[in-house]
Structure 1
Amino acid sequence: MNILGLSVATTEHHAAALVQNGRLVAAAEEERFNRIKHYGAFPRGPLSNANLLNDASLTLRDVLCKQAIRWVLTVSQLTENEIDIIAINGVPAKYRSGSLQNADPQSFVPVRDGRYLFVPHHLCHAASAYRLSGFSEARVLTVDGRGERETAACFDATATGILTRRHEVAVRDRHSFGGLYETTSRMLGMGAFGQGTVMALAALGKPGFSLNDSVWARSFDDVNLDVVALQQLLMNVARTESEPLLEIHRDVAYAVQHALEEAILVLGTQTMTKGAGMPLCLAGGVALNCPTNTRLFRQLQPAGMFVQPAAHDAGTAIGAALEAAFQLGEPRPERMQHAAWGPTIDAEECAAALTRHGLALHLPNDPAGEVAQRLADGAIVCRAVGRMEIGPRALGQRSILADPRRAELKDRLNYMKSRASWRPFGPSILAGRESEWFEDAFVSPFMLFTQNVLPPRRSEIPVVVHADGSTRPQSVERHILPDYAAILDAFNDLTGVPMVVNTSFNRGGEPIVCTPEDAVVSFLGLGADCLQLGPFFVDRTRR
């Protein structure tokens, strides 16, 4: 059975995914094709932020992510008529007359209309994590800006595969977990999508700034997320992007991050009630907050924990398709071990793009060795090989790599990518070597947890150590990403360090590169030293 999953019901991170016979085979975000970062359709409607979930006048044709859909069908050699089910990441307003008002969390279920299956938004998030976790039973916590009526929900997942919603936090106006961080980002001059910057800034702050009880949680039924009060409070310290970043702004970020962690910890604790010794799955945009994920992992101590790399709305395309597959009796998918579900780099397209831009076609005998040597020499290497990852983290297939030992490279990387000079970078490290460098280390394949660098080793890898001594590593398994692991092996042989700096391959304000042409244009614009593009290697420092 062919099931097309679409993230189109909300207003950002639109995406398409294909599940065949229960297995995920393709997934990509629309932004990678149209080159509009965070893309989501904003159709005309009576609401300024109209979408399928809040405007009954809108139809699917108003919001379709056409380029992502076209790619999914093309790569799978399918026509639209060969798609059996189209699963959507939300229940449109016109289908929800009664269910939205019913306070029983279990009353909100998917709606079937012909070959369309509309899956409640937070159920899509839950399915995107649990159904790819490899866990038989689990507890699932989803937290984001908003779904049809909620900003957070928890689910029980049983061995039968059924996801049962137990509790939810209702949205009132703009009061939501996602709204909390977005408001803070705007007020601190970092824009609507500066949540990652605020999260990083929090590590530079200290306790002391009071949020005046505008954010707290005692249970799913007793939560205060007063975004309006928070915005009024922050008016006195608001800044524009061009204004200096002061100590008070760092303290605001610290206070908001701390309040978020405390609230999510309450919800996580309730999610795990009667679930001692069980695994925990996380999803929703807030599950991209690495310090919060780590705190849940450390304090709740679940039997295992899984966060899939597209935890934001793009991942609900996958979740919608997987939930539809389950309900139709399709086989269970395997545990997700990588994020590379997008378009692949084609060698002929690489050659054409390099030639168009006047770059030589060099085929190295030992690609991993050449990349590692240039990294050890201090070069910054852009890498676009294999299939593109889904989600905001580049995990080796569309990455910019550097030597973590060279402190001066941090400023150069941040300048190249138009990022604040204090923002941290994370490393990709050979799996199995984490305990040599991190405290209480564990395997983290998707860069979604923080780990503290061992104090004696922090001076050895300054580029990837944040102000609080933490880093956000990606563990690279040789059997999952063999070509990328080969670079790490070669770099370790040269330097004794089994990791490299890894940041996403894109310029500031742009999506991660998708095609060879994107990669060459970005490489030249960034001013990086080397480019590994498919089978080719370009070194601009050697004439």
Structure 2
Amino acid sequence: MGSVTLGIHLGHHCSCAIVIDGELKSAIQLERVSREKHAGKATLTHEVPIENVLNDCALSINDVSNIIISVQQLAVGGDGLHFPLFDDSFDFFDIADKRVRIISHHLAHAVYSYGCSGFDNSSVLVSDLAGSTTPDGLDFDLSYEEFKALPTSKYIEPKTESISLYRITFSGIDLLEREYTIPHPSPSTFIYSPASLYDNVSRFIFGREDCHGQLMALSGLKESGYNNDLISINDMIDINDGKPIFKNNWSRRFNLESPRNDLLTLAKITQEAFVESMMCYVRKIRHISKSNNFCASGGTFLNISLNSKILESRKFKKCYFPSSPHDAGISIGCAFYGDKIWEKPLKKPIKHDIFSPTPNFSIDESDLTFLLKNNGCYSDEKIALLLSEGAVIARFYGNAEFGPRALGARSIIATPTDLEIKNKLNRIKQRQMWRPVAPIVLKESLKDYFDGPEDSPFMNLIHKVKPEYHSLLPALCHQDNTSRCQTLNVDNDIRLYNTLNLLPSFDHPPIILNTSLNGPGQPTILYKQDAIKFFLVNHEIDFIIINDEFYSRNETIENIDLNTVIFNKEVVFTIKGNNYFALLNNKKLKIDEETFNLRGKIIRKEQFSKKSLFMDLLFNEFLIKND
């Protein structure tokens, strides 16, 4: 076996990755395993999904050549008290092992995007809210012993990276320029960078974290009543000698009582100011890097309007926007760093994101028989027909996407020809009805229906539906007629490709709607049992594909009458042996037993000896509403 590198990111969006001889083999976010969206770990614990990626590659920790870690909170004077680098119980490897190196945040970001790009040289722009904190503001690559030996007894003035400009070539990694965060007692109000502008406004409008995508969608709404006299881009930023200068006096014009149209105006101007400020750094890096190639990394580049603006500027011959520019991608950057990817760059860019391993979870056949009706093997033609007829289908196929956007492996798919279908998908996801739903389109058909970049495998660029297809594809168009296309070719997912390719035979364009397979506030589903649960409690989804099998709900489940009420009965249901299904945890049962066409028997709750896979989920939590 050749060189094996384990990459670990500790921080929010905690993740792990494996690179073998320069090839990315496996990567997974903690959130997919823990089922907690944006899950993070500040220190090494057994919850960090190290074993998931090792098992996926049939490796043990002893097979690993390099262990490269990036730790968000790690800084001089930051190891100890509340945040030791590793939990006392962590024994998967010794942190003092010579294989272990700790690298800085932006350095890992940069190597991630470059490593995936297939470029032999490139400029790399990294932008996020905050990265590593160091005494000198520079990158680092240290062993744990070297880190511990750093002087901490003297006074230090730490610097926290915010924007970094790199050039990466065969010769190595050059940091060309860097900007830093500005400490402030009101960080949720004070603006000092593009990321802080976008983060603070999104928190203000939506009242919580991680609403950047919603702000981007809101900025594209076309409604009358924009208050153009309220604020302009010049109120937010000045451009001085090519550098954006952020202003802070405009925020007093907005408060929690601001009317809707004022917030729409704020969203629109924020997006414009954000893009214009970032373009200053794009122009800067083109000038100082002298490279015709461009790579982007950092959470800032989840903004598809920004990515498209960079591409449209034509300042570079080639641009690469990775699937996971946010912090989850750092583990892949760590793994590429340990493999010194710049010395042997990939010959082709990575254009798929199916890297997250899915363990084979065994489900009792009697459980499946009770809950699901097996409609036989997955037929591409049958799926195409059902989609053309308006069916909504959950798709659980093979390993999962690593990044934040569903690309077909963990997706809910439907036709774009019916606007009500888009509304149905937003109801399933419990999202605002103005939120757009993105399409998957055959790469070779993209130019027939859309204007925009020819290649967009990660759904991170803007396309516009051609005017003559607005009426045919009403569910695709955001109010500004934009769409976030995923282009699909036969190498990405042959089964999904075949389905789209068959759609025209049913008088349907080779395009489908696609949203991630998860509920509100949840990460994308990784495991089969969670996909089945999600399908069963969302009756607006008609069918589910599980790898090569195709299911609908069993008639027993489909015919439940949720309006029938029977009081003072405590019952549970078993279908076979000790596999029980709980109907209720209290004494109010809202359904007649006969409705179930019971094949098992009614027993008392205290007789339980084994829990079924679905016992805690179905009837007492979701399907039956208690008084």
CA-based RMSD: 2.8
Aligned counterpart in structure 2 of residue 152 of structure 1, from 134, 151, 163: 163
Deviation at 1:196, TM superposition (A): 0.3
CA contact (8 A) 1:353 1:516 kept: no
Q: TM-score, normalised by structure 1?
A: 0.85
Matches of 1:327 and 1:337, distance apart in 2: 17
Matches of 1:94 and 1:76, distance apart in 2: 35
Q: State the partner residue of 1:77.
A: 58
Q: State the partner residue of 2:231.
A: 210
CA contact (8 A) 2:373 2:553 kept: no
Q: State the partner residue of 1:344.
A: 358
Q: State the partner residue of 2:107.
A: 123
Q: State the partner residue of 2:37.
A: 37
Letter in 2 for 1:27: A
Deviation at 1:357, TM superposition (A): 6.0
Aligned counterpart in structure 2 of residue 94 of structure 1, from 62, 69, 76: 76
Distance 1:266 1:311, change over 3 A: same
Deviation at 1:315, TM superposition (A): 0.2
Deviates most, 316-325 or 295-304: 295-304
Letter in 1 for 2:532: V
Aligned counterpart in structure 1 of residue 299 of structure 2, from 267, 275, 285: 285
Aligned counterpart in structure 2 of residue 428 of structure 1, from 433, 437, 440: 440
Q: State the partner residue of 2:8.
A: 6
Matches within 5 A, 1:399-418: 399-418=411-430
Distance 1:517 1:176, change over 3 A: farther
Render the CA deviation track for 1:467-514: whole Å, top value 9, x for unaligned.
Answer: 001100000011232111011112232134011001111111111000
Matches of 1:188 and 1:509, distance apart in 2: 18
Matches of 2:46 and 2:434, distance apart in 1: 35
Q: TM-score, normalised by structure 2?
A: 0.74
Aligned counterpart in structure 1 of residue 316 of structure 2, from 293, 297, 302: 302
Matches of 1:219 and 1:320, distance apart in 2: 35
Deviates most, 302-311 or 84-93: 84-93
Deviation at 1:290, TM superposition (A): 0.4
1:234 lines up with 2:243 in the alignment? no
Matches of 1:361 and 1:143, distance apart in 2: 48
CA contact (8 A) 2:426 2:433 kept: yes
Distance 1:135 1:357, change over 3 A: farther
CA contact (8 A) 1:426 1:464 kept: yes
Deviation at 1:465, TM superposition (A): 0.7
Deviation at 1:167, TM superposition (A): 1.4
Q: State the partner residue of 1:47.
A: none
Q: State the partner residue of 2:499.
A: 487
Q: State the partner residue of 2:47.
A: 66
CA contact (8 A) 2:14 2:48 kept: no
Distance 1:273 1:330, change over 3 A: closer
For the residue of structure 2 that corresponds to 1:66, the secondary structure is coil
Deviates most, 445-454 or 200-209: 200-209
CA contact (8 A) 2:371 2:553 kept: no
Deviation at 1:224, TM superposition (A): 3.7
For the residue of structure 2 that corresponds to 1:502, the secondary structure is strand
Matches of 2:318 and 2:342, distance apart in 1: 28
Q: State the partner residue of 2:327.
A: 313
CA contact (8 A) 1:161 1:326 kept: no
CA contact (8 A) 1:34 1:67 kept: no
Matches of 1:309 and 1:434, distance apart in 2: 20
Matches of 2:246 and 2:8, distance apart in 1: 29
Deviation at 1:516, TM superposition (A): 0.3
1:25 lines up with 2:25 in the alignment? yes
Deviates most, 174-183 or 349-358: 349-358
Deviation at 1:363, TM superposition (A): 2.4
CA contact (8 A) 1:21 1:331 kept: no
Matches within 5 A, 1:411-490: 411-490=423-502
Matches of 2:359 and 2:14, distance apart in 1: 22
Letter in 1 for 2:32: R
For the residue of structure 2 that corresponds to 1:140, the secondary structure is strand
Deviates most, 494-503 or 399-408: 494-503
Aligned counterpart in structure 2 of residue 137 of structure 1, from 121, 124, 142: 121
Render the CA deviation track for 1:295-342: whole Å, top value 9, x for unaligned.
Answer: 111014421111111111000110111012107967757521200001
Matches of 2:115 and 2:25, distance apart in 1: 14
Matches of 1:81 and 1:236, distance apart in 2: 55
Which ranges in structure 1 are unaligned for 5 or more consecutive residues? Answer: 42-50, 52-59, 98-110, 239-244
CA contact (8 A) 1:237 1:249 kept: no
For the residue of structure 1 that corresponds to 2:49, the secondary structure is helix
Matches of 1:217 and 1:317, distance apart in 2: 35
Matches of 1:161 and 1:448, distance apart in 2: 30
Matches of 2:208 and 2:115, distance apart in 1: 33
CA contact (8 A) 1:507 1:526 kept: no
Q: State the partner residue of 1:335.
A: 349
Question: What number of residue pairs does the alignment pair up?
Answer: 498
CA contact (8 A) 1:5 1:88 kept: yes
Render the CA deviation track for 1:15-48: whole Å, top value 9, x for unaligned.
Answer: 111111221110010000110001113xxxxxxx
Aligned counterpart in structure 1 of residue 180 of structure 2, from 170, 178, 201: 170
CA contact (8 A) 2:453 2:463 kept: yes
Q: State the partner residue of 1:48.
A: none
Letter in 1 for 2:75: A
Q: State the partner residue of 1:382.
A: 394
Matches of 1:254 and 1:316, distance apart in 2: 30
